[in-house]
Amino acid sequence: MLNAPVDQAGSDGRTATALRPDGRTATQLRPMLASRGPLCRADGSARWSLGDTCVVAGVYGPRGMGVAGGGLAGGGRQRGRGRRTPCGHPCRSSGRRGMGWQERYCEAVVRQTVDAVLLSSLLPRTRIQLQLQVVHDDGSLLPCALNAAFAALLDAGLPLSCLPAAVQLALDAQGQLLLDPTKEEQQTSSATLCTVFASRPLAPDGAVLATVPSAVPGGAAAAASSSGQEAVDGMITCEATGRIKALLYVEALERAELACRVIDAFSRTGLERYQKRREVLSA
């Protein structure tokens, strides 16, 4: 478990004159809290909180797939509802009958984003199931769900081309960009922007490194070359609603990338502490 203080929230160095209702500036994130392994029966799980917004993610798999006429029990046919993703992996989700269009849209964004970073060619003929449970929604639900999914995939030991980070911005009625908006701020905003950036860590001198770390030994480039996929760098996903001017859109992307670096550093610190704790327990 790791908690990020409020003063570590992503700021691009600009000063904000007006404070938001919760006391934050326009370029400040809410406190982050992450923990790994909250679900005992999942192959990988994570809990991600962003302020009062909280999502629990569970990963089940990879598990072998059956082919009609194969040796699986029940005539060799794969039972249960499933839809095949672009990477060829059936992605099943429970409780779809009670889902509205917003939940289905968020599910599609999560599926396409995970499909872009998962090295699926290293896991041929397998099925991976990702389940997301919303504990509480107080704004920025989609990036919170994405970060929980990324952490659960890492906890399951699945090969990823990078360590992504997601963040959301909103454009209020005064034309000001608000980082990590609450639910009330989202409802009163004229436009929202949710982006996912690949790992681009900062060097000691503050410059952005060109290399992209990976959950696979040898780095993202080696893993991607061995799997036949290209290493992911830069922006992976951008989901926008409403109308926003071009200059504000570019500024929003710059702020989002800076905030994703902070979230990336937060995730890496948690991974390092988790690995050290495992080494101590196994010694």
* DSSP per-residue codes, 172-186: -TTS-EEES--HHHH
What does the pLDDT read at residue 173?
Answer: 86
Q: How confident is the model at residue 255 (pLDDT cuts 50, 70, 90)?
A: very high
Which tokens is 64 given?
């072998």
What does the pLDDT read at residue 185?
Answer: 92
- For 150-155, what is the mean pLDDT? 91
The reported pTM is 0.74
Task: Tell me how many helices (H) and strands (E) the chain has.
Answer: 5, 11
What does the pLDDT read at residue 204?
Answer: 43
- For 241-252, what is the mean pLDDT? 90
Q: Judge whether 126 and 90 are in contact, CB under 8 Å.
A: no
Report whether pLDDT(72) > 50.
no
Cα 39–139–212 angle (5° rounding)? 65
Q: Judge whether 256 and 239 are in contact, CB under 8 Å.
A: no
- In the block, residue with structure tokens 């059936």: 90
Q: How confident is the model at residue 19 (pLDDT cuts 50, 70, 90)?
A: confident
What does the pLDDT read at residue 134?
Answer: 92
Q: How confident is the model at residue 227 (pLDDT cuts 50, 70, 90)?
A: very low
Which tokens is 76 given?
């060799």
Span 124-146, pLDDT tens digits: 888 889 999 999 999 889 999 99
What does the pLDDT read at residue 267?
Answer: 85
- For 160-188, what is the mean pLDDT? 91
pLDDT > 70: percent of the chain: 70
Report whether pLDDT(78) > 70.
no
pLDDT > 90: percent of the chain: 29
Question: Which residue would you say has higher pLDDT here, 60 or 100?
Answer: 60
Which tokens is 230 given?
């290209």
Report whether pLDDT(235) > 50.
yes
What does the pLDDT read at residue 82?
Answer: 38
Give the least confident one: 71-75, 124-128, 173-177, 274-278.
71-75
What does the pLDDT read at residue 174?
Answer: 87
